[in-house]
Structure 1
Amino acid sequence: MAESALFQSFFLIFSGAAIVASLALFGRQPLLVAYIALGILLGPSGLAVIDNLQLLSDMSSVGIIFLLFLLGLDMQPQALVSVLRKATFVGLVSCTIFLALGFGIGWLFGFTPLECWVIGMALMFSSTIIGIKLLPTTVLHHKHLGELMVGLLLFQDFVAILCLTILLSDNIGNMHLGQLALSYGSLPLIVMLAWGVVKYLLLPLFTRFDRFHEYVFLLAIGWCMGMAELAETLGLSREIGAFIAGITLAASRISQYIALSLKPLRDFFLILFFFSLGAQFDLAMLPEILVAALVTTAVVLLAKPVVFRYLLGNQSEQKVLAWDIGFRLGQISEFSLLIALLACDRNLIGSAASHLIQATAILTFLVSSYIVVMNFPNPIAIKDELRRD
């Protein structure tokens, strides 16, 4: 019976996701919004046809591990230096402003200080999916706009990793600083160990057996999972271990092949992640957080373009270019959803704060997508003069 129920859940999730994803593409919406909406529809707050959320949530956490592994693989050390040099100042100042805005909104609506900090963290980041996917490929790879976008998003990725490291510490809620320092003290040891294993074991194995694609795929997954479990054992988190596993492989010739091979597997689990996120969204909480979510959404949609316009303008960027980047980054991020989920799971924030972040993410994804699609060059523009592949 359990096997039948699991198969039925998979049938409903992936067949339903195929339908709602098609509708989302016709509506020029990010697919992850469709997955979240499907979770709300089929979960306990909707039709309640799927109720084994804990199993799906546990499985979907694998997708987050793969996401951070691939994020590490894509962080080529040589490319990072040039793009981050241009984006660091703007990234630092903008993250500080949005952290303060989020803290202020949380304080205004009566959340605890720790919840205010987490809300502030969630507002610091912009969506890679919307920022990159709605940027024409020729601009992404060959224009100054593309370089700045990638630089800012990469800087935000580093800040997100730092935030996740803090939230994923078992001790942050109780502030046992000695144990926290011990956990972080193991971080450089893990990095050195990973670098040594990659250089003296994995790369020789990849070089010798690279024609056996199945073996390369298996070894990459084993390395990712092994480092994830080691980090968890040493008091960090599986996600941090997976990121270290990826970034220590990033400079190798095989890294991009591994990244391409694992993306379908990552996407499979990420669909489960966003579905389970939507399924856990309690519609009964909506009246409690609706006003706060609308205020937070309005602040994000108005403040982010203005802040990026001002900061980039002071960096001698053209006014039109600065506004373009500002509106493309005018939402919060997939990382914001992850922060909300992890912080709630570890009892750092309450259900209301978590639902506030989730509702703000969904609303800003929807509105900012329409703003970009209707006003700036993008691959899925309705107007012919704005459509750029």
Structure 2
Amino acid sequence: MHHTTPLITTIVGGLVLAFVLGMLAQRLRISPLVGYLLAGVLAGPFTPGFVADTNLAPELAELGVILLMFGVGLHFSMKDLMAVKAIAIPGAIAQIVVATLLGWGLAWSMEWPIMTGLVFGLCLSTASTVVLLRALEERQLIDSQRGQIAIGWLIVEDLVMVLALVLLPAIAGMLEQGNASASLLAWDLLLTIGKVAAFMVLMMVVGRRVVPWILAKSAATGSRELFTLAVLALALGIALGAVEFFDVSFALGAFFAGMVLNESELSHRAAHDTLPLRDAFAVLFFVSVGMLFDPMILVEQPLAVLGALAIVVIGKSAAAWLLVTLLGHSRRTALTISVSLAQIGEFAFILAGLGISLNLLSEEGRNLVLAAAILSIMLNPILFSLLERYLARAESKADRTADVPADEEQQIPVDVCNHAVIVGYGRVGSLLGISLIESEVPMVVVENSRPRIEALREQGISAVLGNAARAETMQLARLDCARWLIITIPNGYESGEVVTAARAKYPDLTIIARAHYDDEVSYIFDRGANQVIMGEREIAGSMLKLLQQELDTKPLVQACPI
């Protein structure tokens, strides 16, 4: 099919197919990710009908990776990164070595050359940023110890892949020219490490001051669109600059851009404003992966596909589980990390493409990598669901609190009753909190942002880190003896989940929630809230009261003066 507008056609076609198949997957009680991947297969060149632009789709998907990693950086401080370095660095490196050797073994069994096998194994060794973060976000694990380790592990993997992308051309040249290129290989390695270090230092020293200053200036204009534009310009601009000037990946560049903004008061607003774009482009990532997949590989080489998939899902997982266990962490953490890494993604495709251009990997090898990626991404949500069921059945309460130093798992119930539980401490929650403190009303704040929780505790305010929709979190907040539950988070449907969970256990509790739209008001009321405050209605009501006061003191003159 000929397209005169390939960019628009690719975006519209990809999103429409993803929506239709994502809804179908949801109705069938499977992950929407499966629908997004199948949408890509349908939009790809290997199936009849609509064919999207296979050159544009990966670039659009890269935008999703950039925005997603920027959002992660907004919730991930240098302190968090350093806290997991003892496990993330040796664990990620050892896991990459194990997976690469397993891939090389499979390639050897198919009589591929040694270098082809090593490149193939390297492609199977790295996990997908988007898949991992989606899984952690859905389960509210990003701020947990397990989530921090998984993200730190991923950052180390990305750094190793950056080195691999630089060294592969040098290795290919060395194979062609002989040992004379060994010095060039060492020089390229040192140069790459120096560039990465220079970028990190620049972001930590200069970026930590400049980035928050730019956002503060844009926020001071009072223009929401200028602030959102500033956030996008910084995230995308720093990511592109990291690639162009330091040979660092887009993902790492965006991650550090978000991390230097983490300490700013505007970080929460920046994360909120970029969320819709992050979600949309993350969907395009999965569509673009599906577009690269040729389903015929499943028929032509089923055993090779199963072998590659086994390396990704079983081999990598087993290696990660063993490494995390040997480093002294609990079964719960080890299993979560192993399942998190049981898939491959964006760096695998980049490495495979580079391998083909350098004649270090065949088309057959790339097709196997893509098949393993598609199937492992489809299986990953299922593995997470099985893990959650297993942990819920097999673990005792002591097991669930065994991980240290996970702040949210070390928490003890607050020592207060007849209090207000405030869910969310953004602009609305903080204003309400100040008023309650002035009125000497006891309160407990429930938040899923670790920096915000730490700041509240430093102020002497009782705070609980976790998801308010979960019973164990609200037990820590002593909802059982609270007088009010006040939900100030801006997402009405998330508020509805919290209301549902609270009302089911505490039928006499007074629940007050916030909403933005009429349908959210009805949704939250239906789930048991006593009162739902819609900001726009309150503003209109306050304005009407002011007008009424003015009319009471100065009646309206019906006739207009001539």
CA contact (8 A) 2:215 2:231 kept: no
Relative to structure 1, the CA distance from residue 204 to residue 372 in structure 2 (aligned partners, 3 Å threshold; closer, same or farther) is: closer
Partner residue in 2 for 1:118? 119
- The code of the aligned residue for 1:163 comes to M
1:332 aligns with 2:343: yes
When normalised by structure 1's length, the TM-score is: 0.78
| Aligned counterpart, 2:48 | 47
The unaligned stretches of length 5 or more in structure 2 are: 175-183, 394-468, 471-562
In structure 1, runs of 5+ residues without a counterpart are 382-387
Preserved CA contact (<8 Å) 1:83 1:148: no
How far has the Cα of 1:292 moved from its partner? Answer: 1.4
- Residue correspondence of structure 1 range 1-389 to structure 2 within 5 A: 6-126=7-127, 140=141, 146-167=144-165, 171-172=169-170, 173-174=172-173, 177=185, 178=187, 181-182=190-191, 185-195=194-204, 197-211=206-220, 212=222, 213-234=224-245, 236=247, 239=250, 240-317=252-329, 321=332, 324-325=335-336, 328-329=339-340, 331-335=342-346, 337-340=348-351, 343=354, 347=358, 349-374=361-386, 376-377=388-389
RMSD in angstroms over aligned alpha carbons? 3.9
Deviation at 1:204, TM superposition (A): 2.5
- The answer on whether the counterparts of 2:70 and 2:257 sit within 8 Å (CA) in structure 1 is yes
- CA–CA separation in structure 1 for the residues paired with 2:142 and 2:56: 40
Structure 1 residues 87 and 52, CA gap change in structure 2 (3 angstroms)? closer
Instruction: Name the CA distance, whole Å, in 1 between partners of 2:108 and 2:211.
Output: 49
Higher strand share: 2
Q: Deviations over 1:224-270 (max 9, x none)?
A: 33334434443625615444433443443333432332232233233
Q: Is the 8 A contact 2:96 2:125 kept in 1?
A: yes
Q: Name the CA distance, whole Å, in 2 between partners of 1:195 and 1:136.
A: 26
Distance in 2 separating the partners of 1:183 and 1:134:
31
1:36–1:277 Cα contact (<8 Å) kept: yes
Aligned partners of 1:137, 1:130: CA distance in 2, in Å? 11
Aligned-partner SS, 2:389: coil
Amino acid at match of 1:202: V
Supply the AA of the counterpart residue of 1:268: A
1:10-61 CA distance string (max 9 Å, x none): 4332121111112223445443332221111122211241243223334333
Q: Is the 8 A contact 1:231 1:238 kept in 2?
A: yes
Give the superposition deviation at 1:337.
4.5
> Once structures 1 and 2 are overlaid, which stretch shifts more, 45-54 or 189-198?
189-198
Deviation per CA, 1:101-120: give whole Å up to 9, x if none.
22322333234444433333
1:80 CA displacement: 2.1
User: How far does residue 170 in structure 1 lie from its aligned partner after superposition?
Assistant: 8.9
Q: Using CA pairs under 8 Å that are at least 6 residues apart, name the structure with larger relative contact order, 1 or 2.
A: 1
Counterpart of 1:77 in structure 2: which amino acid?
A: M
Aligned length, in residue pairs: 378
Higher helix share: 1
**Matched residues in 2 for 1:278 and 1:63: separation?**
15
Is the 8 Å Cα contact of residues 304 and 368 (structure 2) preserved in structure 1?
A: yes
Letter in 2 for 1:277: V
Percent identical: 22
Cα deviation for residue 341 of structure 1 reads 5.8
Query: Radius of gyration: which is bigger?
Result: 2
Aligned counterparts of 1:269 and 1:289: Cα–Cα separation in 2:
32
Which range is displaced more, 291-300 or 170-179?
170-179
Instruction: State how far apart, in whole Å, the 1-side matches of 2:131 and 2:375 are.
Output: 13
> In structure 2, do the counterparts of structure 1 residues 310 and 233 end up closer, same or farther at CA, with 3 Å as the change threshold?
closer
When residues 138 and 154 of structure 1 are mapped into structure 2, their CA distance, relative to the original with a 3 A threshold, is same
